[in-house]
A and B are shown apart, each in its own frame.
Chain A
Amino acid sequence: MMSAAPRTLFEKVWQRHEVVPESASAPAILYVDLHLIHEVTSPQAFALLRERGLPVWRPRRTLATMDHSTPTETAQVFGGAPIAIEAAAQQVRELERNCAEFGVELLPLAHAERGIVHVIGPELGLSQPGSTIVCGDSHTSTHGAVGALAFGIGTTEVAHVLASQCLLQRKPRTLALTVTGKLAEGVGAKDLILYVIGQIGVGGGTGHVIEYRGPVIEGLDMESRMTVCNMSIEAGARAGMIAPDETTYAYLAGRPRAPRGAAWERALEAWRELPSDPGARFDRTVQVHAGLIEPMITYGTHPGMVMPIGGRVPERGDAAFARALDYMGLAPGQPLKDHPVDVVFIGSCTNARLSDLRSAARLLRGRRIARGLRMLVVPGSQQVKRAAESEGLDAVFREAGAEWRESGCSMCLGMNGDLVGRGQYSVSTSNRNFEGRQGSGARTLLASPLTAAACALTGRVTDPRELLGGAP
């Protein structure tokens, strides 16, 4: 028997989905197992199908939901009041019409399983190890946490997948990112990935698929792994992946759309073959020591402008850096600690799962947020919302003075009217601190749910370890 060369997790998934391998003159034709669509990046794709008179070729491989521009106020979600933003209402209606006409399953606005597309995929058991998953959204990298090859695509490619279930792709390079040591108390997956982006830079992963590995990654629960893979795109990477293991299988077992019975056993057997072989070669390797990581916070206008929460804003000569600090209203050498905060947002596909809400509630329980501060808690899905309510987390947030909303992308990108005001400081558990991301002139400080909760309590940038009772 021929002994095959050792392969990485990525190579195994890639090769299994090559309909036609790449050549010098043409990219590979890559098969897509699961296509997720939403209201913002799909209308023009359906329009293209209509123009060409094409059907959706494999409608059962596409699932639609609504999350980006949808309201988070209960009455607007459940029909008690019209959607306040007419253009958003129009997108919702158009997705309903497109799904009905083309035979695509839709989880509509009032559906009990609706939510942020990258929260519901794993939650429903649709995102599975070894599969290829695409969506017209860059944070599709989230699904790599289950050992899938998952990446964001543009609207033209959404049309390609709808019409052919395939994409034309050049094979990306691989980057092994190994995390050793141990995360300290009060330091979580969000701090880890912010630290990684600070190390390799916002363009550091361009052209690569990152495989996160090593003892710290193996020790993370599934939701933490999703937080890590989610922000792969913030390092410019095409995708992030983590080898499936017992944690993955335990998470997926029994989920409504995961395989069952004999099919589960067969799937499990195939999934166990997926982890990178010993000796598999990566194009690049990066090592990170978890023990060096503290609670992290961003101070600038991209996620690579990040530092330990107790640090000082660095000095750098270039004009763009100075302009970014000017936008943020910060100066080089200034500490961020104790800086006033106007808004705290707990939500987004990065940090709006049950464990994130528990983490925030841990600090908020029995306390009140600072006077004058606005805190918005937006669960990642309607299922997360119900699970949180069943353990009383909604009461914790409400009694602390926070707003408890229906699920959606909300203030992460402010398409639905959940906005941060001009000049205001927002400590946000989302993924992007770009200029204007949370509203024109809004100043975003990215942090973990634990740090965000600490900041909400004091109204200032606060090291959560001070409130946990441990030494900072």
Chain B
Amino acid sequence: MRPLQRLRSRTVVLPDGNIDTDRIIPARFLTTTERSGLGAHLFADWRYAPDGRERADFPLNRPEARDCAVLVAGPNFGCGSSREHAPWALLDFGFRAVVSTAIADIFRSNSLKNGLLPLIVPESEGAWLLAHPGAEVDIDIATRILTLPDGTRVPFPLEPFAQHCLLEGLDELGYLLARRGAVEAYERAR
């Protein structure tokens, strides 16, 4: 996993609530057996017209969105299926953080396992960010602080173990494998 310590980027905003994983990556693209290459299909039915051309009015298609690493979205982002293809597609497109007032459980967990930060902000800051696309934000994983353009510091929750893994670029598998002795003891004791 690529470590993530600090992120400074302008935001792209998708203000809808309940943006589901089918919207993020439609099921017809799940026939891949790879992790890579999904960025081209990110938000496919939203981003492209039926004839395959990019819709100019879709926020991700605007030229200024191309190098943004922070996606701001309405509440309950990532609801729906458990497809890890959703964070894979977001990462492949270039995002490293998704900011919302609420993020669905499985999507949040999948994101953390791939180095994509699911960042929960309070209602007022969430509303400000939704209303200000392109705002330059600074995200510091070590201090768990998001800084708005006016210098307002917004603390955000991040589970300490996940924070450690993000900072160090560690995945959880090594941690689990190192504890297989405890698992064997558990199996014997049942």
Contacts and interface: CB of A to CB of B under 8 A. Distances in A.
Nearest to A237: B105
Contacts of A284: none
B79 A436 contact: no
B161 A202 contact: no
A168 B172 contact: yes
Contacts of A31: 183, 186-187
A154 interface: yes
B105 A206 contact: yes
Given A19-B186, A170-B159, A138 B82 contact: yes
A24 B159 CA distance: 9
Interface string B161-190: 100100000011101110110110011000
B140 interface: no
Given A19-B186, A236-B79, A432-B22, A440 B30 contact: no
Interface residues of B, number: 52
Interface in A34-80: 40-41, 43-44, 47-48, 52, 54, 57, 68-69
A137 B176 CA distance: 22
B83 A435 contact: no
Given A168-B175, A422-B50, A436 B31 contact: no
Contact of B82 (A41, A432, A434, A436): A41
**Interface size range of chain A in the complex:** 35 or more
A203 B187 CA distance: 36
B151 interface: no
B11 interface: no
A122 interface: no
Contacts of B75: 203
B38 to A, nearest CB: 11
Most buried by A among B34, B84, B187: B84
A163 B175 CA distance: 12
Interface of B: 15-18, 20, 22-23, 26-28, 30-35, 45-46, 50, 74-76, 79-84, 102, 104-106, 109-110, 113-114, 159-161, 164, 171-173, 175-177, 179-180, 182-183, 186-187
Given A26-B160, A94-B33, A436-B26, 8 more contacts: A19-B183, A25-B161, A57-B180, A160-B172, A203-B104, A302-B79, A319-B16, A432-B20
Interface of A: 19-20, 24-27, 29, 31, 40-41, 43-44, 47-48, 52, 54, 57, 68-69, 85, 87-88, 90-91, 94, 136-138, 140, 152-157, 159-160, 163-166, 168, 170, 172, 202-203, 206-207, 233, 236, 238, 302, 304, 319-320, 323, 413-415, 422, 432, 434-437, 440-441
